[in-house]
Amino acid sequence: MALLEVRGLFKAYGGLTVLDGVDLSVSPLTIHAVIGPNGAGKTTLLNCVSGVVAPERGEIAIHGTRIDGLHPHRRTAMGVGRTFQNIRLFGGMTALENVLVGRYCRTSAGLLRTWLCPPLRELREEAAARRRAEELLAQVGLAGRANEMVEGFPLGDQRRVEIARALATDPRVLLLDEPAAGMNAAEKRGMNGLIREIVAGGRTVVLVEHDIDLVMDLSDLITVLNFGEKIAEGKPADIRRDPQVIQAYLGAEA
């Protein structure tokens, strides 16, 4: 059974159709990339899956359970984590505090209550949440920077904090929206390794990314969108040779 199943997803803004009957089937423990030119509907697809926007038609399921009628926080509880193309961190908070916000959905009392009036059980829960947040910051390469304000971090490190925050929700499927955007070659190599490590740790990744070399190296399967429609799907080697994909997106030099 697919971990994430999207069927017949349709989304329009006014008279502009952004997704037109898109299907997507993501197998467990894989890296499934979604690529296409600007305006193809990639981020809108992630927004629909995570509940940021509601499609007009279509179904979304996690392990066979429909989630398309749920609010975003309920989808998070069901195992959908994500990052954003435009980074959405709390600039006035530390890296640790940002990751703890992601851990909120896996605490029984809620982090706000544990900070305000903590009995013993909640103190233990807070300590466990902090340990997990510190572990995740170390996993993304930010050990020792937990107490620094994220507004002073370079772009690449901010993206890593956002990934750590998403991982703090214990997602079954992690939606990464252009995680390598704005990174130099060395940072992209580090991101490649981090994504591989995330999958090796038992997660499934849906990757939207414009860096074709990164996509081709990482992906188990690639879905290609163009003007809101799926025009191809297959393994990286097949996608590189697909005439429709070459014409719409990759170009003759790919």
Beta bridge partners of residue 25, listed in sequence order: 5
pLDDT, position 209: 95
Are the C-beta atoms of residues 136 and 149 closer than 8 Å to each other? no
Beta bridge partners of residue 85, listed in sequence order: none
Domains of the chain: 1-79+171-254 (3.40.50.300), 88-170 (3.40.50.300)
Instruction: Find, among 102, 182, 181, the residue nearest to 135 by Cα.
Output: 102
Digit-coded pLDDT (tens) for 203-252: 999 999 999 999 999 999 999 999 999 999 999 999 999 999 999 887 64
Amino acid code (one letter) for 137: L
Taking residue 193's Cβ as centre, other Cβ atoms within 10 Å add up to 11
Do strands 80-82 and 57-62 pair parallel, antiparallel, or not at all (unpaired)?
unpaired
**End-to-end Cα, the chain, rounded Å:** 33
Q: Where are the beta strands (DSSP E) in the chain?
A: 4-13, 16-26, 31-35, 57-62, 65-66, 80-82, 173-177, 204-208, 221-226, 229-234
pLDDT, position 108: 67
Instruction: Find, among 10, 26, 86, the residue nearest to 207 by Cα.
Output: 26
Instruction: Find, among 27, 56, 70, 1, the residue nearest to 173 by Cα.
Output: 27
pTM of the model: 0.91
Lowest mean pLDDT among 47-51, 74-78, 118-122, 226-230: 118-122
CA–CA dist 181, 53 (Å, integer)? 23
pLDDT at 254 over 50: no
Digit-coded pLDDT (tens) for 109-162: 555 555 555 555 556 778 888 999 999 999 999 998 999 999 999 989 999 999
Instruction: Look up residue 194 and give its two tokens.
Output: 């981090």
pLDDT at 183 over 60: yes
For residue 66, the SS3 value is strand
- Tell me the residue length of the chain: 254
pLDDT at 253 over 50: no
Compare 110 and 191 and report the one with higher pLDDT: 191
CA–CA dist 11, 96 (Å, integer)? 36
What percentage of the chain exceeds 90 in pLDDT? 78
CA–CA dist 133, 156 (Å, integer)? 19
Digit-coded pLDDT (tens) for 11-43: 999 889 999 999 999 999 999 999 999 999 999
